[in-house]
Structure 1
Amino acid sequence: MSPANPRLVDLVGRLIADGPHGLNRERPPLIALVGAQGSGKTTLARAAADRFGAAQISIDDVYLTREEREAMARDIHPLFVTRGPPGTHDLALLQGLIDALSTARPEDRTLLPDFDKRSDDRRPRSEWRVFEGRPSAILVDAWCLGALPEDEAALAAPVNALERERDPEGIWRRAVNAFVAGPYADFAGRFDAVVFLKAPGFDVVLDWRSQQEADLLRVAPADLPDAERRRLADFVQYFERITRRMLEGGVKADVIVPLDRDRRPGSMPA
């Protein structure tokens, strides 16, 4: 993955300098960086956190445990065993981390969770990261925060093979939509700023996600095994409906930054 774009890091710095909204102006500002898979939001959040003394948390690190998602798969729909879509994150854990960081004293040590994607489960607390003191800001990279729910008519037709073959009655996508409309919308409303890194289209998402996987495997994107790319093509279908919705304007964001296919930002606030 390429380093974070300096213009985007500067943008986050300006949002941090704007400070928190609401009654409690003494807390660190809370900023969300959202966008499609592979858009560079985690890279940006980490770079900005390092530069400005902020705490960075990825929503990927507060997935529900494998056991909790298996329970959802039994109780609601089998597709909930797969991490990523709304409903598969522990928002209560994330809010607790935000509260702890917001009130931390200089000597405090806040444990930040880590999720092991290879084992598909949360790492034990003994392996969590430590943030010392109180951050200048709290940066949360979360692909779906700010997404707006769809109406019932839009949910009727499947958008891809995953929905057509594995959710023919629409139970899973309606449940996901309910999470978007309820707890995720409530959670997003607590942020001082939401920055949407807008991909040029959904067609780039598989390429971006494949590049991420190639980087992890330390191979060139062209050398990514065909089986791995097929797995990723299936995986991005879990995100397709909401990603398309956001790209078409179904997102509530304070700043929208258009990206080109190489993730270079277009116009943004001065």
Structure 2
Amino acid sequence: MLKLTKLIEQYIAKEKLPNAYLDVALKWFKPLCDSIDLHQKKSKQTKDASPCPFFIGINGCQGSGKSTLSGLMSYLFNEYYGKKSVVLSLDDFYFTKLERTNLAQTVHPLLLTRGVPGTHDTQLMSDVFASLASGEALSIPTFDKSIDDRAPMSMWQEVAGPVDIVIVEGWCWGTHAQDNKALATPINSLEKNSDSDGTWRSYVNNALLTQYTPLYSYMDSWVFLKAPSFDAVYAWRRQQEKKLKLRVGNASNIMSDEEILTFIQYYQRLTVHTLCTLEKYADFIFELDNERNITRSRYHAK
């Protein structure tokens, strides 16, 4: 336990997290990693001849802490559990700015803004998943939010050889498509004023159904960081933007509070839908309060 504590303290220092995160990690996330380690070992016993890694999907709305959790899990799997792991963020698979411009011109203007299903390169995701499943060396894309565009290939993440565990995190990763009837009524002013005929939300929903859901079959286990409500997203997103500003300075793509209010409307429909539905599919559920404290955890054995 002393070694584990020191490793978590190192991660806290590296990520500039509050010291209280140590207790959170030990109480909630060590049991999570222990359980996944056990699942991975059992999975390996049934797939002796296969290099296929154990895939973990992590869902959480903006600012819920999914990236921090993914990083911690990967760090502990590498340094404490003796596994080779890699983290993939759904954000890193956004289409380039030029590709989204083309979508905006040919499908709907709202697709210029990154975020929703339909603005990610799911073919690239599929190729990356297949390479990881086959144990191949590969490069994983990186998206630079400060310039709202994909980073050059020289900055992509290099993965050499087979890995034991793949962690995939994203705000809508694991979310299932809505029934078409649910799309009829706008959920906010963005949909009412900029998507009055429902073209954008229908495109997003169809992309979720046809492009994203088939990739879910790679996942061996799902983790859900469940926010108390969509109302928490604004405060959490503001915190994210402040961190980004500290990291990159006064870049032109750092959003103001007013811009954040508009931006989160792009996410509202599927975030609310996810909060109501994902726990039916998730294996590990962590319920959060408005301060992102975990108030309860649940495990659904499958």
TM-score by length of 2: 0.79
User: Can you list the C-alpha shifts for 1:111-169, whole angstroms capped at 9, x where unaligned?
Assistant: 22111112111111111122334322000101112212222221111111110111011
Runs of 4+ in structure 1 off by over 6 angstroms are none
The amino acid of 1:81's aligned partner reads: L
Q: Aligned residue for 1:269?
A: 299
Which of 1 and 2 has higher RCO (CA within 8 Å, sep 6+)? 1
Q: Aligned residue for 2:284?
A: 255
- Say whether the 8 Å CA contact 1:13–1:48 is kept in structure 2: no
- CA 180–66 in structure 1, closer or farther in 2 if over 3 Å, else same: same
Alignment partners' CA distance in 1, 2:30 and 2:100: 35
Structure 1 or 2, whichever has the larger Rg, is 2
Q: Aligned residue for 1:61?
A: 92
More off after superposition, 21-30 vs 233-242? 21-30
Mapping of residues 219-230 of structure 1, within 5 Å = 228-230=256-258
Alignment partners' CA distance in 2, 1:21 and 1:67: 42
Q: Aligned residue for 2:57?
A: 32
Mapping of residues 1-270 of structure 1, within 5 Å = 2=17, 5-6=24-25, 7-19=28-40, 20=43, 24=47, 26=50, 27-53=52-78, 54-104=85-135, 108=137, 110-218=138-246, 228-249=256-277, 252-265=281-294, 266-269=296-299
Alignment partners' CA distance in 1, 2:185 and 2:44: 40
Name the structure where helix makes up a greater proportion of residues: 2
| SS of residue matched to 2:285 | strand
Per-residue deviation, 1:13:
4.3
- Say whether the 8 Å CA contact 2:285–2:299 is kept in structure 1: no
| SS of residue matched to 1:150 | coil
- Paired residues in the alignment total 260
Alignment partners' CA distance in 2, 1:118 and 1:144: 21
Q: Aligned residue for 2:82?
A: none
Alignment partners' CA distance in 2, 1:60 and 1:72: 18
- Say whether the 8 Å CA contact 1:62–1:114 is kept in structure 2: yes
Q: 5+ unaligned residues in a row in structure 2: which ranges?
A: 1-15, 79-84, 248-254
Q: 5+ unaligned residues in a row in structure 1: which ranges?
A: 220-226
The amino acid of 1:33's aligned partner reads: I
Give the share of equivalent positions with the same residue, in percent: 36
Alignment partners' CA distance in 1, 2:226 and 2:181: 25
Alignment partners' CA distance in 2, 1:229 and 1:132: 41
- CA 210–9 in structure 1, closer or farther in 2 if over 3 Å, else same: farther
- Say whether the 8 Å CA contact 1:9–1:47 is kept in structure 2: no
Q: CA RMSD in A?
A: 2.3
More off after superposition, 110-119 vs 49-58? 110-119
